[in-house]
A and B are shown apart, each in its own frame.
Chain A
């Protein structure tokens, strides 16, 4: 049965973006407040799942041409390379550091290499969650 879910689709187009920006906030807030790569990644995949619920799979796959399996690999690579990066400075594996920088828009900002590791976690969580969801959903034929 084909139902007309125009209300769901119209709301999704706006709400998905609000969830996405909340997930970005959670991702960046992780250092000093509750949040971080894991919850941010889960929230991002929640927004993506909402899109998959509102639209059919073929539409969303065409609109977001991202291979989530490659996203897992990319996330793990980033996380491992932040660990290897510490070897350049002659310190043990996964040693992280931070510093204060003057950025053009943000002014005085604390930048930590732990954020790079968090980015790896974020991508891995998004990729892993979406791979599980889509692998289950693709079962019908």
Chain B
């Protein structure tokens, strides 16, 4: 992936040399032209077209922001409501993520969204222990995390 980015920038510089134009505009155009060519020839690269990952990172960011807004709203509702019919609890989340970066990212995202908090990653790295503020349905909470964060992280790292 790093080599592909390097190639893309080299192509932008070749474009600037050819046009004898050293403005940022020429660089952006050269970069976009190189990106288009690399998209057409994407099957030549091991690991696929790198810009796919850039899009995946953007998607992860958007999912995080959406979850942040939604769960902040639910926490606000709980805090402001007069009666507290909550069932706090700790549940185990089985995860398919392997590398340290992936697991750290998932744990941080869970912690940063209000309402849930990562307590511990199990020694074999297969399970995350999470404290939830309102745990009325355990399976639903697990499924929700798996469908949003875990899927998006896997798209970025694999």
Using a CB–CB distance below 8 Å, which chain A residues touch chain B?
13-14, 16-18, 20-22, 24-25, 62-64, 105-107
Q: Is the CB of A18 within 8 A of B43?
A: no
What CA separation (Å) do A37 and B27 show in the bound complex?
A: 23
Q: Which of B31-39, B107-115, B129-137 interfaces with chain A?
A: B31-39
Q: Is the CB of B37 within 8 A of A63?
A: no
Q: Which of B10-18, B54-62, B76-84 interfaces with chain A?
A: B10-18
Given contacts A18-B14, A21-B15, contact A64 B41 (CB under 8 A): yes
Using a CB–CB distance below 8 Å, which chain B residues touch chain A?
7, 10-11, 14-15, 18-19, 25, 28-30, 33-34, 37-38, 40-41, 43-44
What CA separation (Å) do A16 and B45 show in the bound complex?
A: 13
Residues of A with C-beta under 8 A to B37: 17, 20-21, 24
5 A-B pairs whose Cβ atoms sit less than 8 Å apart in the complex: A14-B7, A17-B34, A24-B33, A25-B18, A105-B29
Q: Is the CB of A18 within 8 A of B25?
A: no
What CA separation (Å) do A107 and B15 show in the bound complex?
A: 18
Q: Is the CB of B44 within 8 A of A18?
A: no
